[in-house]
Homo-oligomer: A and B are copies of this chain.
Amino acid sequence: MQDDALLDRRVRLLGASSPLFYNRPLRLVRGEGVWLYDADGKRYLDAYNNVAHVGHCHPHVVEALTKQANILNTHTRYLHEGILNYGEALTATFDDELTMLHLCCTGTEANELALRIAKACSGNNGVIVTDFCYHGNSAAIAELSTALLGPEGIGANVRMITAPDPYRQPDGAEAAAAQFGAQVKGAIDSLAESGMKPAALLFDTVFATEGMPRVPAQFIQDAVAQTRAAGGFYIADEVQPGFGRTGENMWGYQRYSIVPDLVTLGKPMGNGHPIAGVVSRASLTEDFGEKSSYFNTFGGNPVASAVGLAVLQVIEREGLQKNARKVGLYLQDGLAKLAEKHEIIGDVKGYGLFLGAEFVTDRESKTPATEATRTVVNGMRERGVLISQTGRADNVLKIRPPMPFSTENADLLLESLDDCLAAL
């Protein structure tokens, strides 16, 4: 009843199209660690929220926020040690070549800026992206977010390639590699036909929107090499995979053994505080600084810097990357066991604590079981586990919990999923 009244107020203020999860919207009032609580005190296991990266309302992060908000919060046109302490700690987690930093507030702003840098430094205008991606909601980024606006909405300077999906191309790894290389070459040729050259190759390093296909490293290396040969830069979007989530590495791009020119960061960076950024090779930042300028009113202010540093400290102190690896493997194993029992699970994919289970109507045809996936997402909520769906056909369960997720949490998720699938 009260939820209905809130929903009415919400529709009047934000509009009927303001996105809400679930067939029956969920009202949350409190969060702690991996748990979220509704107004009746019922608790939900959060297996979706990568923003609350180190756990909802982590006391160390809230303390850093509170302390600095009481002391000073102003822009970076004054000298302050906070941004330097944070920025040095952050860039130290990257490969040696990546030493410089711009801070902003959202992943969209990070991708906007990375693209501006790539265009200014290359002198080129073209962008190569995958054909089902999301990188943000500004005009320039929406125009290349192929999953948002569809092929007809993309910009004249954007060319699309298809990330190979080993699940759907099981016998053709080598053929797919060749095809992928040919696609990048085709994109560069197509830009040339319009009098353009590539400024950047941009992709999410876990291909989250595509449904997390495990793209082989050689494909990435080949695409990057071709882009660089044509004068463009490689921008790795780590907004979703970053900060140790993939378990084996701090950054998703490290899986492919090739160092990007620019890396964009967002969501988990401030555990809910709006922090985002671009990490880059020094040559690019310096060249951009000579050609253009960038200032962000809130980016890197003392509060944002204190919060960002606190998040890095928690990841380190609590061994969260190692935990993501350990619990991620445990969860993957559990999903694989469920797949033995439930025919609907066609594939288990992803890395660390960023996993996907692809649902198909039958394993031969691999037809996406989109409706069943939606039923399972809603069913999991009824069973107290929050989860979402992704992929081209919205048929991949998206499992992306806060990083302190334990094997006990994983057991609860697996039991609930087993129960949900049995009830289908």
Contacts and interface: CB of A to CB of B under 8 A. Distances in A.
A120 to B, nearest CB: 11
Interface core residue of A9, A69, A266 (most chain B CB under 10 Å): A69
A95 to B, nearest CB: 16
Interface string A88-109: 1001000000011110111111
A109 to B, nearest CB: 7
A415 interface: no
A26 B78 contact: yes
A137 B294 contact: yes
A62 B70 contact: yes
Contact of A105 (B12, B13, B81, B106): B106
A100 B13 contact: yes
Nearest to A21: B77
Contacts of A49: 74-75
Contact of A20 (B29, B77, B112, B140): B77
Contact of A71 (B30, B295, B301): B30
Nearest to A304: B274
Contact of A28 (B25, B79, B286): B79
B77 A57 contact: no
A285 B139 CA distance: 17
Given A25-B78, A26-B79, A100 B14 contact: yes
Interface core residue of A6, A15, A77, A300 (most chain B CB under 10 Å): A15
A27 B79 contact: yes
B31 A78 contact: no
A52 interface: yes
A56 interface: yes
A80 B10 CA distance: 9
A20 B174 CA distance: 52
Given A66-B66, A101-B13, A267-B297, A71 B138 contact: no
A152 interface: no
A36 interface: yes
Interface string A136-172: 0111101000001000000000000000000000000
A331 to B, nearest CB: 22
A364 interface: no
A118 to B, nearest CB: 11
